[in-house]
Chain A
Amino acid sequence: AQKVTQAQTEISVVEKEDVTLDCVYETRDTTYYLFWYKQPPSGELVFLIRRNSFDEQNEISGRYSWNFQKSTSSFNFTITASQVVDSAVYFCALLSGSARQLTFGSGTQLTVLP
């Protein structure tokens, strides 16, 4: 069975602070994909990144960076110099094996205060 745990329910930071959102996953498959989605207050789900299980290279995109560590089954997301517009719920998700449905974590509500 697949499982995604986002232990941080809510995080509040002040603008320009760095913040890391944690994601821990469980799967028995050797081939799998990990995703992060952003859900701003407007409600839509916005795709941010996808990583496959064979590529542990960290990735940076502007102020966003992702740290994938198979040894700890984690795929953490860091926002550098946070901005008010980063306020949203962030979901980590797993797609593994032959199953094509995403397993979502419960989400982390990030609030960036001005």
Chain B
Amino acid sequence: DAGVIQSPRHEVTEMGQEVTLRCKPISGHNSLFWYRQTMMRGLELLIYFNNNVPIDDSGMPEDRFSAKMPNASFSTLKIQPSEPRDSAVYFCASSSLFLSTDTQYFGPGTRLTVL
């Protein structure tokens, strides 16, 4: 079975540019999570969705960040405009609300570098 798929795997952009990260959750999972990992702050939850609806976006750092989940099989995280401090690894994870396990499975991550 395919795991969580993220694209691109690496993104290098210049300050001020728009960046869009993409995620395809595991088929049948109905919860999706976006995390950011940095050396200074570790793994931080940015936002999560249940059944395509954003539930908690309190971790989104600024208005420059936005996330959407137009359907059960696709989500995007957009940064506009990007800044050097946004450089990090961004992970997407999914889990099943209907199973009691709540185990989150992570994608391979997108390494973002903003110059």
Q: A residues within 8 Å of B by Cβ?
A: 33, 35, 37, 43-47, 50, 91, 95, 100-102, 104, 106-107
Contact = CB atoms under 8 A, between A and B. Distances in A.
Contact of A100 (B59, B102, B111): B102
B40 to A, nearest CB: 11
Contacts of B91: 45
A102 B42 contact: no
A50 B103 contact: yes
Given A43-B89, A50-B103, A104 B43 contact: yes
Contacts, number: 46
A43 B108 contact: yes
Given A43-B109, A44-B109, A45-B91, A104 B104 contact: no
Nearest to A107: B42
A100 B31 contact: yes
Given A43-B111, A45-B91, A101-B56, A35 B42 contact: no
A107 B105 CA distance: 17
A95 B102 contact: yes
A33 B102 contact: yes
Nearest to A106: B42
